[in-house]
Structure formats: structure tokens, C-alpha cells
Amino acid sequence: MVRLHLSTPQLRIRLKRVFAIYYLDVCSLGIATPSEVYEAMGEYFDARAQELGSQLLQSELEDEVMWLVGEIEQDLRRRHAELLVDCLERESLEGRFRECLAAAWRKP
């Protein structure tokens, strides 16, 4: 998929949006396919590395992941409060995010 050049904040918003949709699909009866999440993660973290002029250090990556997970959970609580309570009991948002991130990095 060819995308127009997006700024890092735009890539961050896209990542949060596609992950939130994917996470809700995981918790519902829908079919959850993470391919768009993998793509968004790759684009966002590549852009972050370019901003820094190097790869993210492990501590920077950890901070970034925790910040993103917190923002995504906050957004979901605002928009889907009732659904999210049950979903969080069944499926760890942070765990699913980390799983997607690991898979995204394994993709060629």
C-alpha cells in the first residue's frame, strides 16, 4: 500500500486508531487481522528512529510502548467504556500491543 508522507504525529494517531480497531475486533466476534497494525507500527517506529537519528534504545522503546498503550486505553475508555471493561478482563491490551510489535518486527 502506497501512503502519502505522514508526519510522526500523524503516524502515531494512525497507529493508535488501527490498533484500537484491531483490539476491539479481538474482543468481539469479528475477525481480527493485525496486518494493518503491523504496517502502522513499522511506519511509526521507523519515523521515530529517523527523528532520533538512530534506533530507539530499549529504555526509549519501553517508554514509548507504555505511553502508546496508556493513550489507547484512555481513548477506548472514552469511546467504548462498557465494552472495554469486559474486553480488558479477557485480553490484555498491553500484552496484545507487545505481541503485535514483536510480530511487526519479525516481518521482512
Per residue in 34-86, pLDDT tens?
Answer: 999 999 999 998 888 887 776 666 778 888 899 999 999 999 999 988 888 88
Residue 77's nearest CA partner among 69, 89, 85 is 85
Residue 41's nearest CA partner among 106, 104, 107 is 104
Contact of 84 with 19, CB cutoff 8 Å? no
Whole-model pTM? 0.87
86 or 3, greater pLDDT: 86
